């Protein structure tokens, strides 16, 4: 009977030994992460809204990775991200987070007897390093109906969302730069001699450092074409203080020279711009008053073509009342 028990035990040990991996441990059915990633910022805080993804490169030769395929999202697991399960070989990790520099890592994952050998990455994200350069808000290209740039074209802009005075766009090579680091909804007008004027709005967004420059091509219509039904203002007055800030609560009037009329109100756009008259040509006195400022007066000549007046732009820079010498 003793011989039977010894023989049974020997057979059982032999059976178990046949299922063991070379390291002597029994394999289980759990799936092991290939890579885990923990994130922190440069100040030791967790990076907000981070995106962590991975892709298998599948070769030990980086030059052979001509098309490694798309990235796949890593799975959040507590305070870490799990990237791939039981995936051996070369794996690329990509980390992206708003306000932080993009991070990439390539790791080699070995295949063990039962599972892959997990690599644990601790990645410290660095804030985006902004440059001191300033970016144009809108780069405007003014062309004719054949797509050719129009020499001598002009443009101006104002911010529709804030009290912003109308300002001319700057020359930038063959184009015009309208605003620098100005975001929001910009009102832009453009024109050229012999062409009908254009106006429109452009929305400008920002990233972590600068505005995202918008590239806009404006095609002007030939001024010799049949007249349109549009109504143009005779004068557009931009009212600013001595530092260039808009004065939207100013009172602006215009007086025609040929008629002994009382001053007529100019319509306010609530951002320091005032529109005087509709399709009225001739000479006008422009009068601007505002509390705390000296009055502004200017005579403006408004010419007209066969269809419309040629709108005149006036900048009224108001001077503050100074102290009274006693």
Digit-coded pLDDT (tens) for 16-54: 333 445 555 578 888 899 999 998 876 555 566 789 999
Q: Note whether 136-219 and 233-317 share their fold.
A: yes
User: CA 295 → CA 236, 251, 266, distances in Å?
Assistant: 18, 10, 15
In this prediction, residue 224 carries a pLDDT of 67
Q: Average the pLDDT over 115-140 and give the result.
A: 89
Q: Average the pLDDT over 260-275 and give the result.
A: 85
Alpha carbons 154 and 217: distance in angstroms, whole number: 13
| pLDDT above 90: residue 289 | yes
Of 42-46, 193-197, 279-283, which has the strongest mean pLDDT? Answer: 279-283
In this prediction, residue 165 carries a pLDDT of 66
Q: Average the pLDDT over 264-279 and give the result.
A: 89
Fold designation for 136-219: Immunoglobulin-like (2.60.40)
* More confident: 99 or 210: 210
| pLDDT above 80: residue 215 | yes
| pLDDT above 90: residue 318 | yes
CATH class of 233-317: mainly beta
> Which residue ranges make up each domain of the chain?
32-125, 136-219, 233-317
Q: Classify each residue of 126-143 as buried b or exposed e, where b means 16 or more C-beta atoms within 10 Å of its C-beta.
A: eeeeeeeeebbbbbbbbe
Q: Average the pLDDT over 118-144 and give the result.
A: 90
Q: pLDDT tier at 5 (50, 70, 90 boundaries)?
A: very low
In this prediction, residue 12 carries a pLDDT of 39
Q: Is 56 within 8 Å of 91 (Cβ atoms)? A: yes
Q: Average the pLDDT over 207-220 and give the result.
A: 91
Which CATH number does 32-125 carry? 2.60.40.1120
In this prediction, residue 194 carries a pLDDT of 81
């Amino acid at each position: 009977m003793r011989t039977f028990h010894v023989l049974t035990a020997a057979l059982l040990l032999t059976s178990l030994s046949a299922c063991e991996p070379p390291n002597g441990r029994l394999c289980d059915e759990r799936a092991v992460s290939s890579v885990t990633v923990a994130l922190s910022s440069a100040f030791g805080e967790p990076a907000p809204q981070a995106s962590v993804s991975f892709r298998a490169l599948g070769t030990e030769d980086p030059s052979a990775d001509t098309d490694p395929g798309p990235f796949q999202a890593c799975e959040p697991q507590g305070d870490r991200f799990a990237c791939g399960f039981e995936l051996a070989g070369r794996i690329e990790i990509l980390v992206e987070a708003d306000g932080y520099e993009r991070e990439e890592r390539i790791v080699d994952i070995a295949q063990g007897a039962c599972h892959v050998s997990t690599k644990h990455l601790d990645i410290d994200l660095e804030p985006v390093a902004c440059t001191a350069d300033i970016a144009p808000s809108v780069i405007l290209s003014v062309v004719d109906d054949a797509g050719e740039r129009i020499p001598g074209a002009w443009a101006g802009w104002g911010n529709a969302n804030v009290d912003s005075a109308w300002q001319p766009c700057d020359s930038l090579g063959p184009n015009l730069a309208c605003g620098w680091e100005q975001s929001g909804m910009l009102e832009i007008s453009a024109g050229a001699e012999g062409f009908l004027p254009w106006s429109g709005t452009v929305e400008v967004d920002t990233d972590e450092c600068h505005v995202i420059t918008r590239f806009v091509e404006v095609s002007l219509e030939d001024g010799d074409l049949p007249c349109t039904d549009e109504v143009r203002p005779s004068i557009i007055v931009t009212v600013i203080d001595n530092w260039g800030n808009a004065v939207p609560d100013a009172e602006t009037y215009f007086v025609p020279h040929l008629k002994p009329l009382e001053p007529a109100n100019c319509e306010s756009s609530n951002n320091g711009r005032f529109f005087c008259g509709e399709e009225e040509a001739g000479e006008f006195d422009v009068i601007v008053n505002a509390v705390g400022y000296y009055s502004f007066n200017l005579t403006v000549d408004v010419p007209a073509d066969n269809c419309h007046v040629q709108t005149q732009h006036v900048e009224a820079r108001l001077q503050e009342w100074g102290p009274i010498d006693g």
